[in-house]
């Protein structure tokens, strides 16, 4: 059986990071609604839907200079890919042949050079990312997604928790802290599945599984996304089987995440660029 090639759209975006004041996370998400909640790189071409021909290619460059700022590639997020036939799970990674009718979103996420929006003040820039849709999340009903404790052993810090949830910023210039993501953002999910480190290769493209907290050391800086997955928000393609999400890191490795009737599992991690290409 043959299927029409799916539509795809490719977007160059950047994670601006949290701020100690000014725009909130919710405001930034609304402004970047057409870019997954991220900010579009100003000089990048306007995204135009196109028909995929053949197979997917990893085509985002390591750097994107624009108006005096150099944006450095952090990771690529591909969501909405239809499953090959037969459906997953395979014992090895299946080819990324794009067949079906779903719409593929291809985000290249960058970080701007220059110390971020806080004038070089050290801290953790954090946010929540829905791997199912490729969208940054506001959080639960109260727009919260983390709790922050002082370290070592200082207990809950209401001020830092508020800053992390409202602004996506936890300063580290006065104290170390432990940042803990919520296990779920509501009764029906989405559910936490790992932190994504944007700043320190080779962790790019690789979730930090089974670690709902991370310690932000004093005077250190971090860019991390709490990743969530909610297969119930997208159509199933088989009994308990949902389409995969793919995270591609700066080292060219790909992490395939498959929702199989519950939390996502990493199917395989493989070098990119061998069989995945666009004709």
Spans of all domains in the chain? 7-271
Confidence of residue 141 (pLDDT cuts 50, 70, 90): very high
pLDDT reported for residue 241: 41
Contacts of residue 107, defined as CB under 8 A and 6 or more positions apart, other chains included, come to: 11, 13, 35, 36, 38, 76, 77, 78, 134
pLDDT reported for residue 199: 79
pLDDT (mean) for 37-43 = 93
For 17, 161, 218, the CA distances from 175, given in Å and listed in that order, are: 20, 13, 5
- Greater confidence (245 vs 232) lies with 245
254-268 pLDDT tens trace: 565 655 444 444 434
Structure tokens at 50: 């196109």
Measure the CA–CA gap between 206 and 31, rounded to whole angstroms: 28
Confidence of residue 177 (pLDDT cuts 50, 70, 90): very high
**Torsion over CA: 259, 263, 266, 267 (sign):** negative
Confidence of residue 35 (pLDDT cuts 50, 70, 90): confident
pLDDT reported for residue 253: 60
pLDDT reported for residue 231: 57
Closest CA to 258 of 225, 274, 234: 234
- The answer to whether residue 195 scores a pLDDT higher than 70 is yes
pLDDT reported for residue 70: 93
Structure tokens at 16: 């601006």
62-71 pLDDT tens trace: 899 999 999 9
What are the backbone dihedrals phi and psi of residue 233, each rounded to the nearest 5 degrees, phi first? -90, -5
Mean pLDDT of the chain: 74
Q: Which of 22-26, 181-185, 208-212, 254-258 has the lowest mean pLDDT?
A: 254-258
Whether the Cβ atoms of residue 228 and residue 191 lie closer than 8 Å to each other: yes
pLDDT (mean) for 12-31 = 88
What are the backbone dihedrals phi and psi of residue 118, each rounded to the nearest 5 degrees, phi first? -110, 25
pLDDT reported for residue 142: 93
Cβ count within 10 A of residue 16: 18
Measure the CA–CA gap between 60 and 188, rounded to whole angstroms: 34
Q: Which of 17-26, 33-42, 195-204 has the lowest mean pLDDT?
A: 195-204
Q: Report the share of the chain in percent with pLDDT over 70.
A: 63
pLDDT reported for residue 242: 46
pLDDT reported for residue 279: 25
Measure the CA–CA gap between 102 and 100, rounded to whole angstroms: 6
Closest CA to 243 of 55, 11, 78, 108: 78
Contacts of residue 265, defined as CB under 8 A and 6 or more positions apart, other chains included, come to: 257, 258
- Greater confidence (17 vs 120) lies with 17
Q: Which of 1-10, 81-90, 254-263 has the lowest mean pLDDT?
A: 81-90
What are the backbone dihedrals phi and psi of residue 27, each rounded to the nearest 5 degrees, phi first? -65, -45
- The answer to whether residue 181 scores a pLDDT higher than 70 is yes
pLDDT (mean) for 194-223 = 79
106-118 pLDDT tens trace: 888 999 886 556 6
Whether the Cβ atoms of residue 89 and residue 46 lie closer than 8 Å to each other: no
């Amino acid at each position: 059986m043959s299927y029409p090639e799916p539509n795809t759209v490719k977007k160059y975006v950047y994670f601006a990071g949290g701020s100690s004041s000014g725009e909130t996370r919710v405001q930034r998400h609304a402004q970047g609604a057409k870019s997954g909640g991220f900010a579009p790189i100003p000089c990048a071409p306007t995204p135009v839907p196109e028909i995929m021909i053949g197979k997917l290619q990893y085509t985002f460059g390591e750097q994107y200079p624009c108006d005096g700022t150099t944006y450095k590639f952090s990771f690529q997020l591909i969501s909405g890919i239809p499953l090959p036939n037969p459906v997953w799970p395979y014992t090895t990674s299946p080819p990324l042949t794009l067949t079906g009718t779903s719409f593929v979103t291809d985000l290249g996420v960058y970080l701007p050079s220059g110390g971020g929006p806080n004038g070089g003040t050290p801290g953790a820039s954090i946010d929540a990312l829905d791997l199912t849709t490729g969208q940054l999340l506001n959080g639960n009903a109260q727009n919260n997604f983390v709790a922050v404790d002082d370290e070592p052993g200082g207990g809950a810090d209401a001020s830092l928790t508020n800053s992390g949830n409202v602004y996506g910023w936890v300063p580290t210039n006065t104290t170390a802290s432990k940042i803990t993501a919520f296990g779920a953002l509501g009764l029906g999910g989405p559910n936490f599945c790992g932190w994504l480190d944007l700043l320190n290769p080779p962790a790019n493209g690789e979730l930090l599984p089974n670690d709902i907290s991370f310690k932000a050391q004093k005077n250190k800086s971090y860019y991390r996304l709490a990743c969530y997955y909610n297969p119930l928000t997208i159509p199933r393609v088989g009994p308990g089987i949902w389409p995969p999400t793919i995270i591609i890191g700066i080292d060219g490795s790909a992490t395939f995440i498959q929702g199989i009737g519950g939390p996502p599992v990493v199917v395989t991690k493989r070098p990119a660029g061998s069989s995945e290409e666009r004709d």
